[in-house]
Chains A and B, each alone.
Chain A
């Protein structure tokens, strides 16, 4: 396991030297508040792990240069779980014991987030999951877990509501989904649907699509990651099949548009964050500008979820007037925050009360489908 640690003490080395020369009492009360951030910093999903790191470091740097929190600097400790549950559990244990963090932010995948959550629960350390959407993360009776992402069940329910409201004529659905937890989670919400499954990594979906086509549905829904999702939409087009098409949050990534190009036009899907659906959220506009200024690129949805998570965490520490883990957890429950995705509170389970944003692709670009 690779370990990355980076300290954010204002002024860098000079400040460290200064602090060392002062009295121990003063130094203790001025010790930094430690926040852990973890995710896949290496491996297949490294880009998403880096997004967590970028957002969290950006916010910590800004806070530190403005005097920190409770008059103390914030120190971010980075952990790499490589997207694997077993490594996430090790990182979680290290955060709780050796690093002595007050709160942890992560991870990206649901299995890794869940594995870490079990450790944090034992160690009584508050955690904000960034983009793990599996419902079961927050349904284990774990009082230490919170989540920044809209969980999968709510996402699908919001999408079904959206369809019922805006396109009430669509009644019979064809549903093609990847044969794993992610795909099944989406399918459960659609009762009246002709169902077809595929395995992760499949390339050719003509067989599944032909079977669905023979049931003559009003619309088709695919629940895939962007690689397979792009192929499914391209192959629907290739078959010369015109009908309303819906996708999952798994295709809400710029790579989907790169791979599907014109075949993506008309597709509607739920998204965790999109500049296109945030035009009238001032917090989102400020966030987009900040990421552009700091990293010279547009933010992705993990940036947004991690940005909200670290801001909520720092606000909770401020309200608690302490970095004590229990106090921070209790303060977190009182969260009422203007997030980059809309007004944000935690429900009983620790899930956000956000309404899912819906996107429609027009001219190979995301637009707000709710408009």
Chain B
């Protein structure tokens, strides 16, 4: 292939960063739940899909809704759905002292349940989001950028920033961090474990809901959209170092860039395969993921 022009290179970087933000938000959900409960929550992709569907439905009912409200609807519905899963299923299983492996299997069951429910409610055809963004490209001093990708990046970063502030500076956030580090110690310090777990699922769900609206508006919403994207979010979380918040954010963005650039410089037909090979290669060098980079030096 010929050399890439600067504007083409920027197109690719922006595209990779935007899809990377979506992966980051899903990876964050995986990481937070992993830290708090040791569960790999395989229904995370479906929580995202349901958020996307609910956001889209709100747009059908009220076509004039501005983008932030649609995102809020997606976040709220995904948050509620994730909490419902935790309270109805996972908490009950934990109370009955079911082995962790079985709870993880239950999350796979939840994911299949959600896929089927969505298919009944919204049908099996892909659904298009109305145009939520300006269609003419932004011009930053001669550099053209798609408004959609630009705003997805901005919102992704803003949501992740807000999460960091919440975790570091609010009592609930700090309690969640404490529970993540040591259940028993946190409980002895007065943290209500059940409530903190529910909060964890709520916030993980909200992250996924935001990702769902972004992904749906970039492509479209359909009942199976959570499967492969959820898997990629999980890979991003692994890449970052499972259970690390900063690692999940970084892992998602890195995975988005790797995926986009491998299409251009390696092969387009096998882009998913190449992404996975790179993941294995990185894990061979850094067994604990990207988070190992800075933890080792400490």
Contacts and interface: CB of A to CB of B under 8 A. Distances in A.
Most buried by A among B260, B263, B271: B263
A334 interface: no
A164 interface: no
Given A231-B219, A239-B11, A240-B137, A210 B269 contact: no
Contacts of B11: 206, 210, 239
A297 interface: no
Nearest to A234: B219
B2 A215 contact: yes
A208 B148 contact: no
A179 interface: yes
Interface in B97-152: 124-126, 128, 137, 144, 146, 148
A261 interface: yes
Contacts of A230: 126, 128, 220
A296 B4 CA distance: 52
A161 B193 CA distance: 70
Query: What range describes how many residues of B lie at the interface?
Result: 20 to 34
Nearest to B9: A210
Contacts of A227: 126, 220
Contacts of A259: 126, 128, 220
A294 to B, nearest CB: 24
Interface in B251-272: 259-264, 268-272
Contact of B268 (A211, A216, A231, A240): A211
Interface in A259-317: 259, 261
B269 A214 contact: no
B288 to A, nearest CB: 29
Most buried by A among B5, B125, B262, B270: B125
Nearest to B124: A44
A207 B144 CA distance: 17
Given A44-B124, A197-B268, A198-B269, A207 B8 contact: no
B128 A261 contact: yes
B176 to A, nearest CB: 32
A255 B218 CA distance: 17
A199 interface: yes
A258 interface: yes
Given A204-B15, A238-B146, A214 B260 contact: no
Contacts of A197: 268-269
A168 to B, nearest CB: 26
A141 interface: no
B260 to A, nearest CB: 5
Contacts of B189: none
Contacts of B15: 204, 206-207
Contacts of B218: 203-204
B128 A208 contact: no
A210 B8 contact: yes
A49 to B, nearest CB: 14
B12 interface: yes
A94 interface: no
B269 A207 contact: no
Nearest to B273: A199
Nearest to A45: B124
A207 B261 contact: yes
A210 B264 contact: yes
B271 A214 contact: no
Contacts of B188: none
Contacts of B214: none
Nearest to A238: B146
A207 B2 contact: no
A154 interface: no
A213 interface: yes
Interface string A242-258: 00000000000001001
Most buried by A among B1, B262, B272: B1
B219 A214 contact: no
Contacts of A211: 1, 263-264, 268
Given A215-B1, A240-B137, A199 B272 contact: yes
A41 to B, nearest CB: 15
B117 to A, nearest CB: 17
Given A206-B263, A207-B262, 12 more contacts: A197-B268, A198-B268, A199-B271, A201-B228, A204-B218, A204-B259, A206-B11, A206-B260, A230-B220, A255-B125, A259-B126, A261-B128
9 contacts: A207-B261, A207-B263, A207-B268, A208-B263, A210-B12, A211-B263, A214-B5, A214-B8, A239-B146
Across the A-B interface, give the 6 residue pairs with the lowest CB-CB distance, nearest first.
A207-B263, A197-B269, A206-B15, A214-B2, A203-B219, A208-B268
